[in-house]
Structure 1
Amino acid sequence: MTPDANVLKNFDTWKKFLGNRVVQAEKLGMSEDTISKLAFEIGEFLDQKVDPANSSNRAIKELWDVGNDEEKQTIAKLMVKLAKNNA
């Protein structure tokens, strides 16, 4: 398993990892809207391909699964904000 794959096992590590990527994207000039759209796409990928490794990720997946696209976009935006605060 790669070091990046281990990131998904611990929610605090995941937030820090994601936060660092958000900061990097902003430094490259990406807009908040673009970052949120990418977070949505990552959420879709994780929902389909990754079994949550902890209870925090499981709760987010369950919220994602019951949400419509607009609600999922809100979750993605909130995850970006949360991650940015943990960078």
Structure 2
Amino acid sequence: MSEHNHVVKKDGELDMNKVDDAMNKMDQGEKDQILANFDTFKSYLHKRIKLAESIGLGEEQLAKGAEKVANYLAEHEDPRNSEEKLLQELWKVGSEEERHKLAHMLVKLAQNESSHH
């Protein structure tokens, strides 16, 4: 089974509380590697979204997951490049509704990412 088992409830819903747990358990070296380069970060998101889609998560659930990840990164990680810095700045000034829309846009960005870099 996939590594995301623990994040997805039995009914196929995303367990939002488990997203933070999964991020916390990730090795700092692995996080650094993913966040070091924006293309690598997009590619990582692309793979995770493909995995989530393959188990039947819809766009709204993907966006909610993206919101959780963005909140986690804003609170726990420093941006490693100018793109991540911009995203963090937008996240900080955005209302809840604006953050949700930005999360949808991040999902779209990652969906359009080809993993052939």
* The structure with more helix, counted as a fraction of residues: 1
The CA RMSD measured in Å over matched residues stands at 1.1
Paired with 1:62 and 1:85, the residues of 2 have a C-alpha distance of 23
- Greater radius of gyration (CA): 2
- Structure 2 gap ranges (5+): 1-27
Percent identical residues? 37
Matched, 1:46 2:73: yes
Q: TM-score, normalised by structure 1?
A: 0.94
Matched, 1:85 2:112: yes
Matched, 1:57 2:84: yes
Count residues with an aligned counterpart. 87
By how many angstroms is 1:70 displaced? 0.4
By how many angstroms is 1:31 displaced? 1.3
More RCO (CA 8 Å, sep 6+): 1
Q: TM-score, normalised by structure 2?
A: 0.71
Paired with 2:112 and 2:80, the residues of 1 have a C-alpha distance of 22
By how many angstroms is 1:80 displaced? 0.5
List structure 1 runs of 4+ shifted beyond 2 angstroms. Answer: 1-5
Paired with 1:21 and 1:51, the residues of 2 have a C-alpha distance of 21
CA shift digits 1:36-68 (9 cap, x unpaired): 101011111111001001111001100111100
By how many angstroms is 1:32 displaced? 1.1
Amino acid at match of 2:57: M
- Structure 1 gap ranges (5+): none
